[in-house]
Structure 1
Amino acid sequence: MELVWRPLTTADIPVVAALYNAAEAVDDTGELLSEEDFAESFGTTDLPGGSLAVLVGGRLAGYGLVALRDNPVGTHRVRLDGMVHPGFRREGIGLRLLPRLMELARGLHSARHPGMPLTVCTMVESRSAGHVALVEKLGFGADRHFYELEVALGESLAQAPVPSGYEIVPFSAARDEEVRLVSNTAFAQHWGSVERSPQEWAASFTTSKRFVPETSFLALSQGAVVGFVLARHYPVVEEMTGVRELWIGDVGTLEEHRGRGVASALLSRTLAQGGEKGYQRAGLSVDTANPTSALGVYERAGFEVARTWTDYGLPVAP
């Protein structure tokens, strides 16, 4: 089977989305993406230097993207995303695609962060046996595990009280920069977290079409932001499953305000508002080794584990 390799272009977005969702129909990872979602990720990727299309007879058999971080500290963890169409699996394409993506990552990393250690990484859903076998065969190791949690939205959810001395208010664009700075501080000690630049923050939340400000809330203490819940909505999930899901993108509280019920109050307000707005389910992802006991907060709010993901990493020499 002759393979043709070339960088992706924005013209490939429809076929990449079609390939991805054909694979999702087989893999059932729960990660559904639309053409619009791929347009966002393509917009933040160096397509000429950090992407690959794998063609067989003119048909897209696989693709890959290299995702850099804006402000890496210590070690630059570069994410490799990609997929092989189910009709072309077990032909060794993945074994050739992933090393090529690693080389692209090495080149981009060396140009932008010379001298900094590089680790390439990729997320794998625990039931994807073929994906697990591929990354382990190439020497990747399981660095971290994440639970994907879900809760049905409805009147049965308990309402957590707002702790004394705090106020829960709707997200305001006027506080956007303040929230970004609080987020960077709140997650500074979290594994794999790096400071989000204004550009990366905007792409993730405030200018993203997926951001839902009306179900996002802030916790104030003496008028200053000390915590937040920021929510997203991916229409493709509803289109393909019939379930309107509210995705909890980030939940954070400054360290000195933890353990007082701030996060629980924020989350409770978001879930209640989500139910009122017609969302049927809420979902989020949490590091199983999160040092802030976040998993307990989510479980008390009614969330249960739906899936487990593993962040596989491989150190790469310059």
Structure 2
Amino acid sequence: MRCWVWHCRTSRTCRSASARRSTCADARWPRPPVNCSLPWGSCSTRGTSPGGRCSTDAQTTSPPRRRCPGGAGCGSRPRRASPGREGGFGVGPRPAADRLGANEAPGGGMDPYVGRHLNWRALTDDDLVDLDSLRGQIELLDDPVVSSLERLVGMDDVTDLSDNSVGGWDDFGNLLAYGWNIVDEDGIAKVYLLGGVHPTHRYLGIGRSVLEWQQRRAIEWRDEHRPGEPVWLGCYVDHAQAGLGKLLEKLGFEQERYFYDMHRPLDDLPPLLDVDGVRIERFDQRHATDLLKLHNICFRDTLGTRRVGNSVWQESLTRDSFRPAWSWVALVDDAPVGYALSGLDEELALEGATFGWTDRVGVHPDFRGRGIAIALLQRTLVAMAEDGCDGAGIGVDTTDPASPGLLKRNLGYEPRDGLVLMSKVVPAEHP
């Protein structure tokens, strides 16, 4: 089974062979069963993410630029488009005690037992370095579309680790599998399921067992903190992860939202569109606070999204890759009603290419259907072209898988990689 990680994506490309070998050499034992000097095949750039959203029907988000738990960088991985699958010998009877004596959770509350193949206990802050190492090894082979844990679900901080996570170790103390429930109590109770299994321990049913544990733990958390209420469970699946998608379907999850990366060259640009009664001007820092409020209004009714906090928003507007000159704001009577915020793809810049990426696009619900988003994006493309960009990209989040056709017809974007959000709602009466 492939790593199931979700919510935000950074535009990126394959690294050079030397960089891949360096990545492999830095990985902790057990190393991925692959010769890092082997060719990986072609890769595509990408940048979709569900943290901020395009609010006409589609949405975009800022690429993850934060660092992974434990302080190591999140880095991109070379992508292979082979579908994942879930193996399954099942899980045997529970032993009387784990070999590491790790069945006891901190405080004696949560039961961390998952299955017989590994030794299970709750994760703690002391495990963050090992967790980052495991995730790096998973991503080295799988190259998931999303990798940044915090940005994935719009968190300001890494939280709820010991209460809502579990790790599986071998007898030598190597972390080989994990599951982490990220809780969002804003509105309806929501729990995002993150997890993964090391490539050397797949096809043993471990991934399925971890997901089943996460579902049980989410219900336990609901009963402890939000009794008598439904709880929403969400999991993001790379389009190449066919096995994970089928497994989630068996557990009652359904497809809820779709995420696409779209790209286009910067020649033959469409003519600029003016919208009656709307003034469009370049982004300025004086717009920052009002745009955060607007952004959260744009997506407040979208299930499966989190409200963006001030620190995450400000960080996205102050990082080196952000380009105010490529970012635009739509105003009516001096109040912002739409925005398109863009930045430079830093990894492509290291390879000598200048590629613009639109991080966030939104239009106030009361002003949709007037062409504001198209007008904002047209100006974004022109600004990128004037600055000599080689191409442009955007990440789209939509409930309608046909929505990318609108951007293709009006702006010439072509779809590339994709994700799907799968979810289920556990009713209040569920035991």
- Comparing 204-213 with 160-169, greater Cα deviation is found at 204-213
2:51: which partner in 1?
none
Aligned residue in 2 for 1:155: 267
Partner of 1:267: 377
Distance in 1, Cα, partners of 2:240 & 2:205: 20
Alignment check: 8 A CA contact 1:153 1:271 kept: no
Name the amino acid aligned to 1:98.
L
Distance (Å, rounded) in 2 between the aligned partners of 1:15 and 1:234: 29
Offset at residue 234 of structure 1 (A): 7.0
Give the counterpart of 1:117 among 225, 230, 240: 230
Pick the structure with greater CA Rg. 2
Amino acid paired to 1:206: Q
Tell me which of 131, 156, 166 is aligned to 1:16. 131
More displaced 10-residue stretch of structure 1: 152-161 or 64-73: 152-161
Count of equivalent residues? 307
For residue 48 of structure 1, the aligned residue among 162, 183, 196 is 162
Residue aligned with 2:293, SS? helix
How many Å separate the matches in 1 of 2:407 and 2:363? Answer: 12
- Which whole-Å CA distance do the structure 1 matches of 2:244 and 2:197 have between them? 10
Separation of aligned partners in 2, 1:66 and 1:33: 15
Aligned to 2:341: 230
Distance in 1, matches of 2:218 and 2:345, equals 28
Q: Name the residue aligned to 2:358.
A: 248
1:59 to 150, 164, 174: 174
In structure 2, relative to structure 1, the CA distance for the partners of 1:290 and 1:2 (3 Å cut) is closer
Q: In the alignment, which of 297, 310, 313 is matched to residue 205 of structure 1?
A: 313
When you count helix as a share of all residues, which structure comes out higher?
1
Deviations 1:178-231 (A, max 9, x none): 22332233334445456x2xxx33244223476825243221111110111234
Residue 394 of structure 2 corresponds to 283
Q: Deviations over 1:223-266 (max 9, x none)?
A: 1101112346675x549998766553432112332222211121
Aligned to 1:93: 206
- Equivalent position SS for 1:43: coil
Deviation of 1:271 (Å): 3.5
The TM-score normalised by the length of structure 2 is 0.61
Would you say the 8 A contact 2:237–2:421 is kept in 1?
yes
Any runs of at least 4 consecutive aligned residues in structure 1 with deviations exceeding 6 A, and if so which? 239-244
Where does the alignment leave 5 or more consecutive residues of structure 1 unmatched?
A: none
User: Which letter does structure 2 place at the counterpart of 1:220?
Assistant: L
* Change in 2 beyond 3 A, CA 1:128/1:213: same
* Distance change >3 Å, CA 205–CA 230, structure 1 → 2: farther
Q: Which has the higher strand share?
A: 1
Q: 1:104 to 1:160 in 2, by over 3 A?
A: farther
Report the AA paired with residue 60 of structure 1. Answer: L
**In the alignment, structure 1 residue 180 sits paired with structure 2 residue 288:** no
Tell me the distance in 2 between the aligned counterparts of 1:232 and 1:101: 36
After superposition, residues 164-179 of structure 1 pair within 5 angstroms as 164-179=276-291
Mark the CA change 1:274 to 1:60 in structure 2 (over 3 Å): closer, same or farther: farther
With normalisation by structure 1, the TM-score equals 0.79
3-state SS in 1 of match to 2:315: coil
> Would you say the 8 A contact 1:49–1:104 is kept in 2?
no
Secondary structure at the aligned position of 1:19 is classed as: helix
Q: CA deviation at 1:118?
A: 0.6
Q: Secondary structure at the match of 2:269?
A: coil
2:295 partner amino acid: S
Cα shift at 1:2: 4.3
The residue that corresponds to 2:66 in the other structure is: none
* Partner SS, residue 139 of structure 2: helix
Structure 2 counterpart of 1:46, which letter? D
Q: Matches of 2:246 and 2:238 in 1, distance apart?
A: 12
Query: What is the RMSD computed on CA atoms of the aligned residues?
Result: 3.5
1:135 alignment partner, one of 248, 269, 278? 248
- The Cα offsets for residues 108-155 of structure 1, whole Å up to 9 and x where unpaired, read as 334443332112120112321221233233x13223241413213423
Which amino acid counterpart does residue 314 of structure 1 have in structure 2?
K
Q: Indicate the SS of the match to 1:160.
A: coil
- Unaligned segments of structure 2, at least 5 residues: 1-115
Paired position in structure 1 for 2:412: 302
